[in-house]
Amino acid sequence: MTLQEELVSLLHKEIKDAADSELYEACLEIVRQRSEQIPTVQGTKKVYYISAEFLTGKQLGKNLINLGLFDEMDRILKDNGKSLESVEAIEKEPSLGNGGLGRLAACFLDSIATLNLPGDGIGLRYHYGLFKQQFIDHKQHEIPDEWLDGSNMVRKTDITFPVQLAGKTYHSRMYDMDVIGYKGNKNTLHLFDLDTIDESIVHDGIQFDKTNIEKNLTLFLYPDDSDRDGQLLRIYQQYFMVSSAAQLIIHKEKEAGHDLHRLDQYVAVQINDTHPSMVIPELIRLLMMEGIPMKRAADIVNNVCAYTNHTILAEALEKWPLDYLGEVVPHLLPIIEGLDYAAYCAFSGNPDLMIIDEQNRVHMAKMDMHYSRSINGVAALHTEILKNQELKPFYNIYPQRFNNKTNGITFRRFLMHSNPQLTNLIDMLIGEGWKTDASHLEELLRYYNDENVLEQLENIKYQNKVRLANFIKEKENIDLDPNSVFDVHVKRMHEYKRQQMNALWVIYKYMQIKNGALPPRPITVIFGGKAAPAYKMAKNVIHLILCLQELINNDPEANKYLKVVMIQNYNVDKAEKVIPACDISEQISLASKEASGTGNMKFMLNGAVTLGTADGANVEIRNLVGNDNIYVFGRSSDEVIGLYNTSSYHSSDFYYRSNSIHNCVDFITSEQLCAIGDPAMLNELRDNLINKDWFMTLLDLESYCAAKETALMDYENRAWWKRKMLVNIAKSGFFSSDRTIKEYNNDIWHLR
């Protein structure tokens, strides 16, 4: 049967007569059937990537690409007056992550399968994911994200495991999603859930009874943990996930007849940040139940596990009160205490190295570092900071465990799927080898002086901007000019990422325009990102941006030159629409704070030029493209770390010293903005900038404005700019997650 015949037979009608929703079901079914026919990756050693988040994005288009069916399906639908794009729009995006860490996990699964390495993901099947973001009265509101409504690739299995929570037995059920490699075999993402979850207990946005574990356990990712019940719920979730994982692993190994004493010959476990850390004591516990003494079990687990750190922000390093753990997982307590005692004996009670601190809190990262064979950071700078600052006491005792694995992204999604025109151009110029070996992209440098190719690049960018403008018109009813510069700042809202600094630049530009200093070309500033529901300052920044959007876009004197859009509910789907349309990629975190960033890589790959600090992977981008093809500004990570160590940054100094900073900051609470927004929120934000500014916005504001001015001027030199685009694309091969995964495998997992 041809693909077209298959489609018709599933539809029971002609393609031209089918609705998009019917076509979606039929396409999904075809993917399922094809996937069933391709083999699971085989091997004697397998990695389990355990993560609280898997931000997989929509599956249909990506699976069609990896199965080699996308172009044919696209053509069949077109020939029948339909569009694959509209069919893909029917799918709901699995909302199983919050940001970089979750998207990284999804990219890694794609690369592991593509490289034909045996490796499964393990996570949770959150019914409402993180949350869905809505803007009402220029503020973020949170509502449940009903991603499970409708058909998807996640299927229920009949596999369950008993999990002890607070002395009661619950049964975790495994759901599976095929992870189909590009022209390769498949692996599985296992998502665990409880059968008894009751979605009807959610009310008033995302509120629910936090004590009713049977009904609430997997409703949301990162439920509010501002009180005791919320923290307990996090522990319940984490243990539920890792106990299911550990049982699955041990069960499979026993079934295969493997000697559990040699578990490290068959299994590697990658711990994605500290959320899955309890897998260490849980695996030890299960091995002890198989008759292995604790010391031996701990040694075995130590050789199996590897830990990835994604942050140096203190508030993100999890520390759980021992008595909370005692309440939820009393059976793990003797093991955790035993591990702590072993560290006490080995390191003469050095408090820096203890798992349990003087206040009886369990430091999950410290447990990870003592009981993992590998400890890695996610970009070169980040790993150096871990070794020399944040985790120095551990680097001193375990130097050989520390290693860097600079993050990567899958080009199958973030170029082939999101930017088909650029994909075609690259194929035409250098062939298709880059799809499996991204270093081939460097061959594009041959066209550095090829006017024709440069013009095509520019045309593709323009068309992507038109497409985004149409999308924003449809979704937000805002008119954008595709001839303006698209300056894009999309990522989770956090003070360290400094969206507030870009907002201050918007104010600066607005005041300039009002004073008659007009830019050579209109500028469109595009924001997008969710704030954690309890994170007040991040919500204040969203509020400021939405108020600026209202003020500026409706000011006829200014809106010809400047527009602001904040995209609602930024997710993977929207990322794929925004990124190909970007000219200037904003990566302006306070140096030392962004572990890596991966958005920066996606923009670069799509021909945007980075405006950023020397932070995270930006440093590696600069080393690859050279200073002519990136705009780097601001204090260095060493300077910033010095300022923190000596407590010598006072934002008020910067506020009072510079008139222009003063004016921009004061504009936040101007009559005009207060007439649009909530004066209390705007005041709180302004006060914070003047009196606290923990992430040093005012420190870098002037150098940021200067660098951005240079970038905007350079944009006018079109001949130059097109070459910058080309160099960025050509040098992005290093950031393929295929490269990252090869490094994980060579240095840590050694899969066979």
Task: State the number of CA atoms in the 13 A half-sphere of 419 facing the CB.
Answer: 31
Our finding on whether 377 is near ligand 26Q (CB under 6 A) is no
> Is the Cβ of residue 190 or residue 492 nearer to ligand 26Q in the bound state?
492
Q: Would you count residue 310 as binding ligand 26Q (CB under 6 A)?
A: yes
The answer to whether 587 and 612 are in contact (CB under 8 A) is: yes
385 binds ligand 26Q (CB under 6 A): no
User: Tokens 């950023």 identify what position?
Assistant: 612
Minimum distance, C-beta of residue 598 to ligand 26Q, in the bound complex (Å)? 5
Question: How many CB atoms sit inside 10 A of residue 143's CB?
Answer: 15
Q: How open is the CA angle 733-417-222, to the nearest 5 degrees? A: 90
Positions in 10-39 near ligand 26Q (CB under 6 A)? none
Contact call for residue 528 and ligand 26Q (CB under 6 A)? no
Contact set for ligand 26Q, span 555-614 (CB under 6 A): 594-598
Q: How far is the CB of 616 from ligand 26Q (least distance, A)?
A: 5
147 contacts 94 by C-beta, under 8 angstroms: yes
Tracing tokens 């250098």 back to the chain, one arrives at 430
Residue of minimal Cβ distance to ligand 26Q: 100
> Rule CB under 6 A: is residue 368 a binding residue for ligand 26Q?
no
Q: What angle do the packed helices 279-289 and 333-346 form, to 10 degrees?
A: 100
66 binds ligand 26Q (CB under 6 A): no
φ, ψ at 163 (rounded to 5°)? -125, 125
Binder among 194, 232, 343, 378 for ligand 26Q (CB under 6 A):
378
| Candidate ranges 17-25, 98-106, 261-269, 639-647; the one touching ligand 26Q (CB under 6 A) | 98-106
CB-nearer residue toward ligand 26Q: 269 or 378: 378
- Asked if residue 729 binds ligand 26Q (CB under 6 A), the reply is no
Q: Quick check: 380 binds ligand 26Q (CB under 6 A)?
A: no
Q: Does 408 bind ligand 26Q (CB under 6 A)?
A: no
Helix (H) or strand (E) holding 90: helix 84-90
Cβ closest to ligand 26Q, residue 318 vs residue 576? 318
To ligand 26Q, the closest distance from the beta carbon of 620 in angstroms equals 12
Q: Which CB atom, from 7 or from 336, has the smaller least distance to ligand 26Q?
A: 336
Nearer to ligand 26Q, 288 or 316 (CB): 316
Which of 318, 317, 299, 292 minimizes the C-alpha distance to 239?
A: 318
Q: Is there binding between residue 129 and ligand 26Q (CB under 6 A)?
A: no
Alpha-carbon distance of 10 to 73, in angstroms, equals: 14
Of the candidates 706, 716, 732, 725, the one whose C-alpha atom is nearest the C-alpha of residue 628 is 725
Among 61, 100, 184, 733, the residue binding ligand 26Q under the rule CB under 6 A is: 100
Query: How far is residue 202's CA from residue 146's CA, in Å, rounded to a whole number?
Result: 12
What is the radius of gyration, based on Cα positions, of the chain? 26
Closest CA to 280 of 310, 257, 300: 300
Polymer length of the chain: 752
For residue 207, how many other CB atoms are within 10 A of its CB? 11
CB of 273 to ligand 26Q, least distance (A): 6
> With CB under 6 A as the contact rule, which of the stretches 93-101, 201-209, 253-261, 648-656 interacts with ligand 26Q?
93-101
624 makes contact with ligand 26Q (CB under 6 A): no
Q: Measure the CA–CA gap between 35 and 263, rounded to whole angstroms.
A: 30
Inter-residue contact 589 to 498 (CB < 8 Å): yes
Binding-site size for ligand 26Q (CB under 6 A) equals: 20
Please tell me whether residue 189 adopts helix, strand or coil conformation.
strand
Give the one residue of 111, 172, 311, 372 binding ligand 26Q; rule: CB under 6 A.
311
Looking at residue 20, the DSSP 8-state letter turns out to be H
* Closer to ligand 26Q by Cβ: residue 104 or 422: 104
Minimum CB–partner distance for residue 270 and ligand 26Q (Å): 12
- As measured in angstroms, the least distance from the Cβ of 222 to ligand 26Q is 6
**Residue 37 amino acid letter:** Q
Instruction: Look at residues 574, 686, 708, 685 and name the one whose alpha carbon lies nearest to residue 103.
Output: 574
Shortest spacing between CB 261 and ligand 26Q, in angstroms: 33
Q: How far is the CB of 98 from ligand 26Q (least distance, A)?
A: 6
With binding defined as CB under 6 A, does residue 104 bind ligand 26Q? yes
Under rule CB under 6 A, which residues in 266-295 are in contact with ligand 26Q?
273
CA-nearest of 608, 667, 592 to 490 is 608
Provide, rounded to whole angstroms, the least separation between the CB of residue 382 and ligand 26Q: 8
Rounded CA-CA distance 419/593 in Å is 30
Task: Closer to ligand 26Q by CB, 280 or 379: give it.
Answer: 379
320 binds ligand 26Q (CB under 6 A): no
> Which residues are catalytically annotated?
310, 491-492, 497, 598, 602
Q: Which of 129, 616, 634, 733 binds ligand 26Q (CB under 6 A)?
A: 616
**Site map for ligand 26Q, 213-242, x if CB under 6 A?**
---------x--x-----------------
404 binds ligand 26Q (CB under 6 A): no
216: closest CA among 192, 191, 233? 233
Q: What is the spatial distance between Cα 625 and Cα 392, in angstroms, rounded to a whole number?
A: 31
Q: Which is nearer to ligand 26Q, 125 or 275 (CB)?
A: 275
Interacting residue with ligand 26Q among 63, 243, 247, 407 (CB under 6 A): 407
| Least spacing, CB of residue 410 vs ligand 26Q, in Å | 14
Among 7, 90, 96, 101, the residue binding ligand 26Q under the rule CB under 6 A is: 101
CA distance 98 to 619: 24
**Could you write out the DSSP letters of every residue in 521-578?**
S-EEEEEE----TT-HHHHHHHHHHHHHHHHHHT-TTTTTTEEEEEETT--HHHHHHH
Q: Beta strand pairing status for 523-528 and 374-377?
A: unpaired
Contact segment (CB under 6 A) with ligand 26Q among 99-107, 432-440, 574-582, 725-733 equals 99-107
Give residues with Cβ within 8 angstroms of 107, minimum separation 6: 408, 409, 410, 413, 598, 737
The single-letter DSSP state of residue 356 is: B
Which residue, 618 or 728, has its beta carbon nearer to ligand 26Q? 618
User: Is the CB of residue 354 less than 8 Å from the CB of residue 337?
Assistant: no
74 binds ligand 26Q (CB under 6 A): no
Interface residue list for ligand 26Q (CB under 6 A): 98-101, 104, 222, 225, 273, 310-311, 316, 318, 378, 407, 594-598, 616
